[in-house]
Amino acid sequence: MALGSGRFGPLLEKTLKITLKCGVFQGVLHHVNPDRSVLLRAVKNLETGRSTPGVKLFFDHEIVNVELLDEPDSGRGTSMLSECTSAIEGNKQADTGPEECGPCSSPCISLESQLRSSDTLKYSLSGNKDEEDVEYTVVDSFQQKFDPAVLHLREQHVVSIAGEGVNLCRHGKLSWLEIATEHHIFLFDIFLLGPQAFKNGLQMVLQDKNIVKVMHDCRWISDCLFHQYGVLLTNVFDTQVADALQFSMATGGFLPHRVCTLQECLMQHLKIPSKRDVIMKHGQQMASENPDIWFLRPFPASLLKAFALKAMYLLLLRPPLMDKLMSDLTAVVTDYLNAYQTRSGDHLESTKPTCMELPQELRQLADIQKLRREKAIKDYRMNEDGLLIRPAVELKGRNDPQKDENYRDNRDCLPTNKAVSQMTAFYDRDVVHQEKSENQNQVLNLWKNLIPTSSWL
């Protein structure tokens, strides 16, 4: 509920003093959420005298008392404050938890520790600027940028979507929603925009069945979007699922004992530069060490850049995964094309065009699956559940799998059937080609197209 239009409106922009279990803080009231969590800007720690820039979130279960320091314009303002304080005190009487701030307590994380992490990340970006620069648009208000961004998204056929925040599920807090297209990367500040962002257009985009949404492990954010914002995601291409299916196909039907992280998928299928991988991993580490950084405004530009890189690479993951998943189909279709045209036409007179018997070209699939299974049994260890133990993808030495203890060298499992051999060669050639040429071209093309127009400024 926005204060400007809700029943707490008279308190908007008033200075409040909030007493927590871990300290006393003063700030200008910016917003009150339906769960009675309070957002203040220009926050000052009254015990240390230290000020905090941006907007800070105070959770209801942490608040002991609220005091109004400014005189309200009407008696209704005082009434609303008393009502809010009474509700908080009522909750505290039923609270039997420990008397210290929880892991999401925004003021309990020092600003110095947040800025130190931010400076470290900026240092990692200070190398080759040509390698690291990425253009993106931050959408944190409904003026100027929001409507053009939504209009652009509604015209797309494929977008990538990622979310950032604390405990992303129905019980968590969504802070940022990253959406990348072929030409633009948008970072929506959901923390400031609130639920209205979805009502004003994002819900329409996320529920559009004609737009493919590329995501990685959509389970958590799907739960968050559905239960908190009423958004039912449709037409999702999940790269974690696609990677597991590709592994199963490559091993003849075996499943891995674990799924891959987004970073592992990027290294395996896109061979992303090491420095960009470090940027994204450092951003994750920075957020995990300081969960309350999600509620810091202005937000560190270095983290925004990491979000933009994540959204961009996530979009680029779909084509190589699709190609690998479709490689068997492509190979069989190629054999279909050559089945008759490269041979003598004498036998065609005795061939019945309506014959529905399974052709030899399709029967080869069973042979290739058998060979893959035999090779997988030699290459991988198997756990007690019959799942292949999948080694972690390491940035260094990832092209040398013999160094991993779960990998066994194999040189004697070669196909003997000529057709199967050609099919295997086609499969391997397709994978190598995607990694060494097409994916690099896609990265370069997207990189060139990520130039914001004046409508995004």
- pLDDT tens over the chain, length 457 residues: 334 334 555 677 788 899 988 889 998 887 777 667 788 877 888 988 887 766 677 887 888 888 888 655 445 455 555 555 554 555 445 444 444 444 344 444 444 444 444 444 333 333 344 445 789 999 999 988 999 999 999 999 999 999 999 888 999 899 999 999 999 999 999 999 999 999 999 999 999 999 999 999 999 999 999 999 999 999 999 999 999 999 999 999 999 999 998 988 998 888 876 556 666 666 667 666 777 788 888 888 888 988 999 999 999 999 999 999 998 888 888 888 887 776 666 666 665 666 678 888 888 888 888 999 999 999 999 999 899 888 887 654 444 433 444 433 333 333 334 444 444 444 444 444 444 455 555 555 554 555 444 334 3
In terms of pTM, does the model score above 0.75? Answer: no
Quick one: fold of 112-240+273-315? Nucleotidyltransferase; domain 5 (3.30.420)
- Domain 9-108: give its CATH code: 2.30.30.100
pLDDT value, residue 31: 74
pLDDT value, residue 124: 38
- Return the domain boundaries, the chain: 9-108, 112-240+273-315
- CA 313 – CA 395 distance, rounded (Å): 16
Letter for the amino acid at 38?
A: V
- CA 213 – CA 211 distance, rounded (Å): 6
Report whether 376 contacts 254 (CB < 8 A): yes
Helix (H) or strand (E) holding 173: strand 173-180
Count of H-run helices and E-run strands, the chain: 16, 11
- CA 294 – CA 314 distance, rounded (Å): 21
> Quick check: do 9-108 and 112-240+273-315 share a fold?
no
* Pairing mode of beta strands 15-20, 212-215: unpaired
- CA 143 – CA 201 distance, rounded (Å): 14
Q: How far is CA 73 from CA 82, 146, 288, 381, in A?
A: 15, 33, 42, 72
CB count, 10 Å around CB of 69? 11
Q: How many Cα atoms sit within 13 Å of 225 on the Cβ side? A: 24
Would you list the DSSP string of 34-101? TT--EEEEEEEETTT--EEEEEEEE-GGGEEEEEE-SPPSSHHHHHHHHHHHHHHHHHHHT--S-SS-
Strand partners, 179: 161, 186
Among 167, 171, 172, 14, residue whose Cα is nearest residue 84: 14
pLDDT value, residue 292: 77
- CA 434 – CA 418 distance, rounded (Å): 24
pLDDT value, residue 110: 41
Strand arrangement, sheet containing 23-32: 51-58, 38-45, 23-32, 15-20, 63-68
